[in-house]
Amino acid sequence: MALKIENQSSIELPKETEEAIAKIIKSLPSEHLRGLEKVRLVDFIKHPQTKNMSVPLKGDLPGLYHPRAGNKPAWLEVSTGALLKPTESFANRFMAKSAFKANLAGLIFSLVGQHYYLTLRHSVKKTNLESQIRQYAEKHLRAWSEKQSANSFRAKLFKPLRPYVERWAKWLNKKAAQAEKGK
């Protein structure tokens, strides 16, 4: 069963956005999508739990997972306004539009990971949930991006450097964690 893609957004989307979403979803294992009904694209997410907050939220919520409620199946909500930033300056809009597909893929992988770990994997403890979802999203995003840029010139150029960059990133994260711990 394929997920339905509902476009309720009035913001102009980059061309072939719905096809890109279908390809992103197709790259995931079908058993991870079991129980999901649709992906809904909206301008901005109006979450009922945040409307009565006295402190305004910093930034917009890019996506939201709606778990199964009663006889309604689970579904995903994606904010195109948070991804495309239509109210920002030209430079911010340009950067958001150029990274739209990758950000959309990361968001969908994260939301599907949330669905997978909340409904289909019962062996994960609630304390480990966030890290498991992050690892799930990173794993699938890495596989998807490698598949997207398999024959590109940039991929061929930077592939030999990747282990060094990853080692450097790991070292930087370790230093940042030590600095946080030292505070």
Per DSSP, the three-state class of 29 is coil
The pLDDT value recorded for residue 24 is 93
Q: Which two tokens stand for residue 174?
A: 């370790």
The pLDDT value recorded for residue 174 is 94
DSSP state string for 137-182: HHHHHHHHHHHHTTT-HHHHHHGGGHHHHHHHHHHHHHHHHHHHHH
- Tokens 């199964």 belong to 68
The pLDDT value recorded for residue 148 is 85
Interstrand relation of 63-66 and 74-79 (parallel, antiparallel or unpaired): antiparallel
The pLDDT value recorded for residue 139 is 94
Using a 10 angstrom Cβ sphere, with 0-12 exposed, 13-18 middle and 19 or more buried, the burial of residue 31 is exposed
**pTM for the predicted model, two decimal places:** 0.80
| Long-range own/partner contacts, residues 60-66 (CB < 8 A, 24 or more apart) | 62/103, 62/107, 63/107, 63/108, 63/110, 63/111, 64/111, 65/111, 65/114, 65/115, 65/118
Average pLDDT along the chain, 183 residues, taken 10 residues at a time: 86 91 92 91 79 61 90 92 90 91 94 90 77 92 87 82 92 93 80
What are residue 74's DSSP bridge partners? 36
Helices (H), the chain: 17-26, 80-84, 90-98, 100-115, 129-148, 153-158, 162-182
